[in-house]
Amino acid sequence: MNRFLETMFASGMGHAVSVSSLPTLDDLVSEYILTLLALTHYNVSQTARILNISRTTLYNRIRRQTT
């Protein structure tokens, strides 16, 4: 999310933003998961609860991000 906001502000308000410079949804989800993990001190159970997904699903998403 921070990268998205930085992109928006770096481009200047009111100026056209290049679509290719915007993060993908997968990028945003990955960054959100990593942020939540850091906020929960890497407690996977608590992070999964916050996201309302199973730990297995969270582990799978983390695995996909690292490959």
Checking phi first, is residue 7 left (phi over 0); if not, alpha (psi -120 to 50) or beta?
alpha
Give the distance from CA 46 to its chain's centroid.
17
Measure the CA angle with vertex 9, ends 36 and 25; round to 5°: 45
The whole-number pLDDT of residue 21 equals 85
**pTM value surpassing 0.75:** no
d(CA 10, CA 31): 19
**Which domains are assigned to the chain?**
2-12+20-66 (1.10.10)
How far, in Å, are 4, 53, 54 from residue 43 at the CA level?
A: 25, 14, 13
Local confidence pLDDT in tens for the 67 residues of the chain: 566 666 666 656 556 668 888 999 999 999 999 999 999 999 999 999 999 999 999 999 999 888 7
